[in-house]
């Protein structure tokens, strides 16, 4: 039972996309379509090449946005506005998850590579608005994305959390390396586990995992 490993936790850090909603709910595929269209139009490349760059920049830089900023000097605000102009009605509210988060001791925050306004819309659609003490987007890290440690350091410094008393829930395993190095308890939320030694726990069902902690 994982509960004994979380008795000291006083700040619960949740990623957003594919963490606070399951990947089976078709939200992020809409964003990927918008990203590809933005890259295609902005760089003047074909749809296939734009989709390749979208994926390759994510792999190399942590986010497509970071790749566009570093390699093409694009401004992030318009990009974020365009790619997050999507249909949030595809998300289902989750009263069970809301109740579980509400019972966690201490503070709960969201930290996403998306923008904070986007995160607020996702949380509202999921019925999770009002549960989090703070919501941090990539803008709070100066547009430096996870998995870079400096991004975590900046956001955690703004929040004032103590990494030794915090836990991170995240679907992308590479985004757990820096939190682990900083002293956080790490939970990989994804359909399949990753064997990385910086991951303390894995779950394919966030609700079931949180039930074990409350």
DSSP 8-state assignment for residue 93: P
Across-strand partners of 203?
Answer: 189
**CA atoms 130, 25, 6, 116: torsion sign:** negative
Convert the pLDDT of each residue in 94-113 to its tens digit: 999 999 999 999 999 999 99
Q: What pLDDT is attached to residue 21?
A: 97
Q: What pLDDT is attached to residue 122?
A: 98
Q: How far apart are CA 133 and CA 194, in angstroms?
A: 30
Convert the pLDDT of each residue in 181-201 to its tens digit: 999 999 999 999 999 999 999
* Mean pLDDT within 34-39: 96
- Please give the domain boundaries of the chain with CATH numbers for all domains: 2-23+92-211 (3.40.50.1000), 28-83 (1.10.150)
Q: How far apart are CA 45 and CA 13, in angstroms?
A: 38
Q: What pLDDT is attached to residue 1?
A: 63
Convert the pLDDT of each residue in 43-95 to its tens digit: 999 999 999 999 999 999 989 999 999 999 999 999 999 999 999 999 999 99
30 closest CA partner among 103, 107, 83, 66: 83
Mean per-residue pLDDT of the chain:
96
Report pTM: 0.93
- Cβ neighbourhood burial of 33 (10 Å; 0-12, 13-18, 19+): middle
């Amino acid at each position: 039972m994982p509960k004994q490993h979380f008795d000291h936790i006083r700040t619960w850090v949740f990623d957003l996309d594919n963490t606070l909603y399951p990947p089976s709910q078709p939200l992020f595929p809409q964003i990927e379509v918008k990203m590809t269209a933005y890259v295609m139009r902005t760089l003047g490349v074909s749809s296939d090449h734009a989709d390749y760059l979208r994926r390759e920049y994510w792999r190399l830089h942590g986010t497509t946005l970071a790749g566009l900023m570093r390699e093409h000097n694009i401004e992030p605000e318009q990009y974020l506005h365009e790619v997050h102009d999507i249909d949030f009605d595809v998300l289902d509210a989750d009263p069970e998850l809301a109740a579980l988060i509400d019972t966690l001791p201490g503070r709960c925050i969201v930290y996403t590579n998306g923008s904070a306004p986007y995160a607020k819309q996702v949380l509202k659609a999921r019925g999770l608005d009002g549960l989090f003490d703070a919501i941090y987007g990539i803008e709070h890290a100066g547009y430096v994305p996870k998995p870079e440690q400096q991004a975590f350091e900046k956001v955690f410094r703004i929040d004032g959390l103590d990494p030794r008393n915090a836990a991170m829930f995240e679907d992308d395993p590479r985004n757990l390396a820096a939190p682990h190095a900083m002293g956080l308890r790490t939970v990989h939320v994804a359909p399949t586990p990753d064997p990385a030694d910086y991951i303390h726990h894995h779950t394919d069902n966030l609700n079931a995992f949180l039930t074990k902690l409350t």
